[in-house]
Amino acid sequence: MGPLAVLKGEHALFRRVLDSMDLCASRIERGGNQRDLPRFVLLLRAFVDGWHGPKEEKALFDVMVRHGFSATTGPLPLMAAEHMEAHRMLEMLATLIAEGRMEEPSKVRMVLQALRSVEYLLRYHMDMEEAVVYPAAEAELPPEAIRMIEERLKAGERGGRVDITGGAIRRLAHELQILYPIPTLPALAASA
């Protein structure tokens, strides 16, 4: 599997996490238990700050810049700015939850609204990378650059602002997906 396919696979994992998070948020809106909310926020922070985001910046974006892509205009600085925006939003969200008072309906509404803002940003961001950045890398980078990305992805499994491995992220994602299962399309068709 090439390095861009690896990154797309991480996006696919994360889209499923966002689907489960959406289900969790809907249950909380209907008065459901809030206990898993901090674990979803931890997972989002791990993805943005500790695993996928830093790997993209250090492996993919940096190699693209070394091969002629602009670091100051166009998609790469936009994607890096969105990583920072998601980081700030998630810091704020974690602080809001840690403050407590989650029994107050107005506080719960604020937290869920903030959660959905991050979700929207991350979904748009991943779509943009897959529509613009990854295809540009695949079309324009020479084979030695693709190999360099591959090596850096392997070396960069940890070391971001949140120190967590891809394995730990996958385990937590799996646990939460069991608690908040999203029906597959065939299952939906069968129940119709």
Residues making contact with Fe ion (CB under 5 A): 56, 129
With respect to Fe ion, which residue has the nearer C-beta, 107 or 158? 158
With respect to Fe ion, which residue has the nearer C-beta, 9 or 167? 9
Minimum separation from the CB atom of position 43 to Fe ion (A): 15
Minimum separation from the CB atom of position 167 to Fe ion (A): 19
Minimum separation from the CB atom of position 65 to Fe ion (A): 15
Q: How far is CA 172 from CA 13, 42, 82, 104, 188, in A?
A: 11, 9, 24, 28, 25
With respect to Fe ion, which residue has the nearer C-beta, 36 or 129? 129
With respect to Fe ion, which residue has the nearer C-beta, 134 or 180? 134
DSSP string, the chain: --HHHHHHHHHHHHHHHHHHHHHHHHHHHTT---TTHHHHHHHHHIIIIISHHHHIIIIIIHHHHHTT--SSSSHHHHHHHHHHHHHHHHHHHHHHHHT--TTSHHHHHHHHHHHHHHHHHHHHHHHHIIIIIHHHHHHHS-HHHHHHHHHHHHHTSS-SSS---HHHHHHHHHHHHHHS----HHHHHHH-
d(CA 57, CA 179): 32
Minimum separation from the CB atom of position 188 to Fe ion (A): 27
Minimum separation from the CB atom of position 101 to Fe ion (A): 33
Minimum separation from the CB atom of position 130 to Fe ion (A): 8
With respect to Fe ion, which residue has the nearer C-beta, 6 or 96? 6
With respect to Fe ion, which residue has the nearer C-beta, 56 or 119? 56
d(CA 144, CA 135): 17
